[in-house]
Amino acid sequence: MSIYLAELIGTALLVILGDGCVAAVVLSKTKGQNSGWMVIATGWGIAVAMAVYLVGGISGAHINPAVTIGLAAIGDFPWDKVPGYLLAQLIGGIIGGAIVWLHYLPHWSETEDPGLKLAVFSTGPAIRNLGANLVSEIIGSFVLVLGILGILANNPVAGLTPLLIGFLVWGIGISLGTTTGYAINPARDLGPRIAHFLLPIAGKGDSDWGYAWVPVVGPIIGGVLGALFYAGLFV
């Protein structure tokens, strides 16, 4: 399997499991409706771990442009592969969003609030303040990339690394995620947001393009800063 196809598939699985757990919580008449933030944070942690298990041995399972660009910024990933990784991750996010839409097909028309429907696909702030929201995404993504590099530096026993990264994402969700929904991954947000825009979702509203730049720019800045901080302090 090519590394680019692996990134596409890994990101798609990430979104299927991650957006799928959001759909379970926020859409009407699911068996998980209103089960809360801990379910969402846990679901995303598991989603990341499973995606890394699936394609980590092929592409390194970046499944996140912030990780790819952060690693490239410190010389741990070749810049000539970055565009292909980013495109694969974005397409994977779109495909994953479309599969979640299909899986929950009867529930869209049963859910009245268009904001909840958008929340399945993409993040949004608890308090809309674009400057503060950007800072939140930078901090969360800084911790993500810094934590990943720290985990890898400890050379975990074979097969444990994906689980530890999943725990890291779970922790970020619990501790830092409730301000913006913690995209910490441009492909995880922009890809499904594009799917939301394109799909014939019953009763959907707009895709909130005015906010869409925050979960793209913030994670990239945070990811690069996290990588540079690690490289400058620990390497």
The model's pLDDT over 200-214, given as tens digits with 9 standing for 90+, comes to 999 999 999 999 999
pLDDT at 158: 85
Higher-pLDDT residue of 235, 45: 45
Q: Compute the average pLDDT of residues 98-104.
A: 98
The percentage of residues in the chain with a pLDDT greater than 90, rounded to a whole number, is 98
Asked whether residue 1 carries a pLDDT value surpassing 90, the answer given is no
Domain CATH number, residue 60: 1.20.1080.10
Q: For residue 235, is pLDDT > 70?
A: no
Compute the distance between CA of residue 137 and CA of residue 126 in angstroms, rounded to an integer. 13
Cβ atoms within 10 Å of 171's Cβ, excluding its own? 16
Residues 6+ apart with CB under 8 A from 81: 3
pLDDT in tens, 56-97: 999 999 999 999 999 999 999 999 999 999 999 999 999 999
Residue 10 structural domain: 3-234
| Number of domains comprising the chain | 1
Mean of per-residue pLDDT scores for the chain: 97
Distance CA 105, CA 160 (A): 35
The reported pTM is 0.97
Q: How confident is the model at residue 233 (pLDDT cuts 50, 70, 90)?
A: confident
144: which residues sit within 8 A by CB, 6+ positions away? Answer: 64, 66, 67, 168, 169, 172, 184, 219, 222, 223, 226
pLDDT value of residue 234? 78
